[in-house]
Structure 1
């Protein structure tokens, strides 16, 4: 054990700053609370539609799948835009243009197979092919668009900008240079008789925005805008492709505010735990190796393939998951759900009588927000929602102040360096005296913390460094029954654990915590008797595991797996009125499944699929009627809820508000 006193919360019983005098910079916005006064209905979201934006012709099947496979299988309108022609193939005998054409055939074959289309030439257009080829105009630029003839809501668009290594254009590095405005414009390649176009930086953003507008995107999926430099390096085109997609989504959200942006890690997922079950791995491998790969002469089996493509086929990781801590209740027994859409924070309120108010748009603190938000309560019961800006990556909060809400900037432990953009979204819990404490993964792979100086007050000025190495993603923390915080963080190979030996004090590190690679984020549950259980997914199977305390405040055992129905993402936990812990997961079919302890403090039972479809993780709460309620966001941008009945079964999903 070792003391890490720098992260001690140092209680201030008197004389701390009031909420109005917060140490953090505060911006104030006034919004009517759902339970206090009338609210204006937010804009109505369109039907379900996903626009994927990637750099190259294999980035979607490698890094956005199995989500891509699920959305097509579930008949959700899908448009994928490939920004570059992907024409660079070192040592290839084909010309760059012919290689790009061949890769496009691989894309068509992969998508037709994902859509279950048979009886035609899957990689071809025309009378004998599966595809209809048209020339479309978006923002005054002509592009080639292929639509599945029998499933016209599946389409792919090729923009054909030069790939990074093609030095014939702009001496190489075209996409990065275009984003940085170090070149004024670029021509596209002449691929498959596509008309050659010229793009400026702004025009490329406009074209992507026009595609999102034309197909009424409710979800935009893109690549990693800020890869983790502690892991393997990324391709030079991936980051600018993600930044262009994000800029287009920001412009699109000005008229369609309810769109959701999801970014995905790329090359470096090979360094993380396998987070797909065998069936999902097989489906992804089939699409890539049997449909796309025969058309890509650059991709060949061998040692390099085994260290890259074979590993990518087994994994998919979102950069900023929504998480599972975005629902809470207030003192009047209203349920509140907070979801980021279009970079702004929306709030849904369910009253004790079961009626829902229309969603409230709280806006943002001056810049778009990341998806992951965490809801906590100050000691006086007021709600405080924590999140992260996407410009500075600073941690922010939205807190109640009477009948209004105010934004506060809590800062970033790596301000002033490139590492600031690799700081995680926050986890928050309460100290024994009621003061909130924030935990983040810092940009160097350790954990940093801030805490309130006084109860209900502002946060300390500097971040405390708690140490740790190779942490990945958001940490997880919870307060014990005797007022002590226990903190957990996943790493590439295991789990870091800290704990307060006394309430409101500093933290010790636990070097004896059971080690196993986590294939998702971590979620802490509290059993009826006060013991903690740490839930995550098992590497290689995606089954749900629990590592649990043998006695209250004592040693840990596990991890032990208790099954699941596949899928990717964090585990949701809710403790019902009987004291049993319920676990829920985003399953392999795109829906939500649950398992519950057979009795308080006992093992978990089998898994049940509630059906329906969700974009990502659910959140849960025990409602004022004593029943467990799960909530999730669908591809249409609406919040849905399902309530558990007296027979433990969950009802069909219903829209909220």
Structure 2
């Protein structure tokens, strides 16, 4: 029986689509202003490529014909990250082989992309982007001293970016930013001591700066991922030193964090989580068998999760998640042959 998560939906594989290509690393999946999905990936020639769902009247009409399109003059070294701004336009960020941070932007909603623009030099870590409470994009990355740096759009015209600014810390891997319900951004990192650390804006939008990094918990074996529960409190997922999936949730004061809870399982990479339409988080991991496994939050905002269920989807790397126009979850994985696969929730 296929895993059942959101009521009325399951993961029976009947709608799976092989998007082809030979992609490297994790892909970035994001929504256009009308919630059609766009995916970005690095190909084997280190170019930034994309595919997108087209419109067919008021409904989705399938993926664009002609396969992947290449964004001109792009050379990327790792996985891209993409975010849709409050103005409805998509921004994509990536690290180059020369350790520079570059970006492209849609000049118009639903449009193509501008010429690439360099934002920073001396960027050995992969970027991660999210929105401030006022809709300005912020991007975080590891600097050459293994500290955290960030840049954000300077004004609410959503155009130019501030110069690089340090947040401190001594980290490994990729930062994980998230916006909590009190309007403040937090960024989560794995320190070189193997523990989970967090820094938080002093006020929404960072108008009075950021607090210093503080330890959240011990025993973090990989880069974390961060999302929010239905009540908009942040929940962080990570691989523990026992190779199980773990989570920790923000307390009611929007500041401190509770006791870490094990979701069990034996995993090889950080968990990925997304909020389903019934208000519960769905968690996806890659097991030691190379397949994707799924766990569901038992009730909205709860620390209790179901036992991981097997899907049979073979994955060669990390997992990207996004909602479709009807709010169903879509999973994107790189198959063992390098092809990109789309796996949407199916109606029962």
Query: Shorter-chain-normalised TM-score: which range?
Result: 0.7 to 0.9
Contact 2:197 2:216 in 1 (8 A): no
- Bigger Rg, structure 1 or 2: 1
Give the aligned CA root-mean-square deviation in angstroms: 2.0
Matched with 1:476 is: 176
Q: For 1:557-600, what per-residue CA distance to the aligned partner results, in whole angstroms no more than 9, with x for missing partners?
A: 22221112x33222211111111111101221212111110121
Considering fraction of residues, name the structure with more helix.
1
Describe how 1:33-432 pairs up with structure 2 within 5 A: 258-260=21-23, 322=26, 326-342=28-44, 343-351=46-54, 352-353=59-60, 355-358=62-65, 359-363=67-71, 365-366=73-74, 368-390=75-97, 392-402=98-108, 403-406=111-114, 407-412=116-121, 414=122, 423-432=124-133
Gaps spanning 5+ residues in structure 1: where?
Answer: 1-43, 46-257, 262-320, 415-419, 648-657
Gaps spanning 5+ residues in structure 2: where?
Answer: 1-18
In 2, the alpha carbon distance for the partners of 1:260 and 1:404 equals 21
In 2, the alpha carbon distance for the partners of 1:611 and 1:629 equals 16
Q: For 1:167-188, what per-residue CA distance to the aligned partner results, in whole angstroms no more than 9, with x for missing partners?
A: xxxxxxxxxxxxxxxxxxxxxx
Contact 2:103 2:119 in 1 (8 A): yes
- Change in Cα spacing, 1:544 to 1:356, as seen in structure 2 (3 Å) is same
Q: In structure 2, which of residues 140, 148, 153 is the aligned counterpart of residue 447 of structure 1?
A: 148
Matched with 2:211 is: 508
How much does 1:322 deviate?
A: 2.3
In 2, the alpha carbon distance for the partners of 1:501 and 1:542 equals 34
In 1, the alpha carbon distance for the partners of 2:80 and 2:88 equals 18
Matched with 2:342 is: 641
Matched with 1:231 is: none
Q: In structure 2, which of residues 220, 223, 226 is the aligned counterpart of residue 521 of structure 1?
A: 223
Q: For 1:230-274, what per-residue CA distance to the aligned partner results, in whole angstroms no more than 9, with x for missing partners?
A: xxxxxxxxxxxxxxxxxxxxxxxxxxxx5455xxxxxxxxxxxxx
Q: What TM-score does the superposition give when structure 1 sets the normalisation length?
A: 0.46
SS class of match (2:318): coil
Equivalent pairs, count:
316
Runs of 4+ that moved beyond 4 A:
258-261
Contact 2:247 2:261 in 1 (8 A): yes
Matched with 1:175 is: none
Contact 1:530 1:552 in 2 (8 A): no
Matched with 2:13 is: none
In 2, the alpha carbon distance for the partners of 1:614 and 1:398 equals 28
In 1, the alpha carbon distance for the partners of 2:183 and 2:72 equals 33
Matched with 2:196 is: 495
Q: What TM-score does the superposition give when structure 2 sets the normalisation length?
A: 0.85
In 2, the alpha carbon distance for the partners of 1:618 and 1:336 equals 15
2:131 counterpart of 1:434: no
Q: For 1:181-237, what per-residue CA distance to the aligned partner results, in whole angstroms no more than 9, with x for missing partners?
A: xxxxxxxxxxxxxxxxxxxxxxxxxxxxxxxxxxxxxxxxxxxxxxxxxxxxxxxxx
In 2, the alpha carbon distance for the partners of 1:558 and 1:457 equals 40
